Structure formats: C-alpha cells, structure tokens
C-alpha cells in the first residue's frame, strides 16, 4: 500500500475541512445540494470520454492499482540475481540461459534471457528491451493524461455550475435578502468542487502515476544494463560495479531518459 499517497489525501482533505470548520463553516453546507456535484463531476468525466480514446480510459484501473499498490524494487537482490546469471552464463554458456529463464518469475528478465539464448545481435536486443520499457511507460502515461486533462476541465465545470446557479438565483426576483445571500453562497459550491477536485485529486493522481511509472522504467533499465553485460560475457565482479553505478545514476537523477536508451 502506498502510505504516502493515503497520508497525503488525509492531510490535504483534513486540512481544508478543518480550516472550513474553524472559519465557522458547517460540513453539511458542502454537501447540501447534489446539483453542483453532478455538474462538476458529470461534466468532467463526460469530457474525458469525449477527449480520449477508449485505449486511455481502459488503462485507468491498472494505473490506479500501480500507485495504490506499487511494486517494491529490491535493487540489491536484483544485482545478486543478475550476477548469479552472469556466472552461470560464463560457466555453462549462453545457451544454458534458456533453462535459467524458466525458473524466473520476472517476465522482462525471462524475455531478455530468451533472446540472449537465441543468439540475437546485441543492438537488436538493446532495441527490443528499450522498446518494451517505452511501451510499459506509455501505458501508464496514457492514463495519467486523462487525469491531467480532468484537472484542467474540473475548475471550468465549477465556474460553469456557479454561473448556472447564479442565473437561477438572480432571475428569481426574491426580495428576501437572507434567502438571496444563502442561495449565492450555495451557488459557489460548484466552484469549490471544481477547484478542489482538480487540485486534490486529478492533478496529483496524474503526477503520481507518472512518478511510479518512471520508477518502474528505472528498474527495467537496470535489468537491461545487466542483460547486455551478461551477453557480452562480463565477469560478475565487474557487472556488480556496473549495475551499482547505474543505480547511483538513477538515484541521483543523472540517468538518460528511456527514449535515449538506444
């Protein structure tokens, strides 16, 4: 479970609602009418369906699962695994890696070892693996774009809802000042929903999807680095230094983007 994500949502929503209460607001006032909710969220979701193909929409559940239950990447264990494979390749030959791949659970490593056992060209192997990384990242980026678009649409829907409510209020012709003031206050609920949902939900979720997807790509890049060295017959001691140098680049933010990988 992504504790920071849950904690961030609790703190952000809690801080805003607590501040509202301290300003003598009453929570029921924020949910007293369903119409602002329908205008903002219905309009936002509807426009997302218009703006994006079904390919983007269907990737949302997987992206949400990714950020709520992110994979734990143990780089030290990965380095040990790749070094063990390197030792086996130098001892038994590259053809032995086909059997080695069968006992592994990581599909990306299995695919790479399969190509190495087949004796493919190093440049071809590198290109195929980096294409796999880019494809993997793009699947989540497609979902992130939907949330980012919703973050831009929601405030506009909020303003639209407020304008619609103000037209109704001001055209009512009521002489009751207290009633008029309450109706105007209620009209601004749509703006509250629009700005709040954009900045508390849609935009942060879109950003979080991209961040976690980049972490996935970084992990896969380390695997590619290891597989390329294994194919070249590099000793495990040198391979370990190479991999930890790559991990250091990733953690320091100096690693090249995936698109420049080949």
Give DSSP secondary structure letters for 154-219: HHHHHHHHHHHHHHHHHTS----HHHHHHHHHHHTHHHHHHHHHIIIIIHHHHHHHHHHHHHHHHH
Share of the chain above pLDDT 90, in %: 65
pLDDT score for 255: 65
How confident is the model over 23-31, as a mean pLDDT? 84
pLDDT score for 20: 87
pLDDT classification of 152: cutoffs 50, 70, 90: very high
How confident is the model over 115-127, as a mean pLDDT? 92
For the chain, what is the mean pLDDT?
89
**Model confidence at 254: pLDDT above 70:** no
Please tell me the distance from the alpha carbon of residue 65 to that of residue 102, in angstroms, as a whole number.
Answer: 27
**Model confidence at 261: pLDDT above 80:** no
pLDDT score for 173: 62
Domains of the chain, residue spans: 1-32, 35-260
Q: What pTM did the predictor assign?
A: 0.85
pLDDT score for 174: 62
pLDDT score for 130: 95
Each residue's pLDDT tens digit, 177-187:
777 777 787 88
């Amino acid at each position: 479970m992504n504790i920071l994500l849950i904690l961030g949502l609790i703190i952000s929503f809690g801080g805003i609602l607590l501040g509202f209460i301290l300003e003598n607001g009453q929570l029921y006032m924020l949910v007293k009418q369903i119409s602002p909710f329908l205008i903002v969220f219905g309009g936002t979701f509807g426009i997302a369906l218009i703006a994006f193909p079904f390919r983007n929409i269907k990737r949302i559940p997987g992206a949400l699962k990714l950020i709520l239950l992110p994979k734990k990447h143990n780089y030290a264990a990965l380095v040990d695994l790749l070094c063990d494979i390197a030792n086996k390749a130098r001892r038994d030959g590259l053809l032995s890696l086909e059997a080695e791949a069968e006992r592994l659970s990581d599909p990306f490593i299995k695919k790479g070892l399969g190509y190495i056992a087949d004796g493919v060209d190093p440049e071809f192997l590198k290109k195929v693996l980096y294409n796999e990384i880019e494809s993997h990242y793009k699947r989540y980026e497609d979902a992130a774009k939907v949330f980012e678009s919703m973050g831009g649409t929601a405030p506009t829907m909020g303003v639209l809802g407020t304008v619609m409510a103000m037209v109704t209020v001001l055209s009512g012709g009521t002489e009751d000042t207290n009633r008029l003031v309450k109706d105007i206050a209620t009209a601004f609920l749509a703006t509250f929903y629009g700005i709040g949902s954009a900045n508390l939900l849609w935009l942060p979720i879109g950003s979080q999807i991209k961040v976690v997807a980049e972490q996935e790509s970084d992990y896969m890049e380390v695997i590619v680095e290891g597989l390329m060295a294994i194919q070249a017959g590099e000793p495990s001691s040198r391979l370990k230094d190479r991999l930890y140098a790559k991990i250091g680049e990733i953690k320091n933010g100096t690693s090249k983007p995936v698109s420049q990988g080949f």
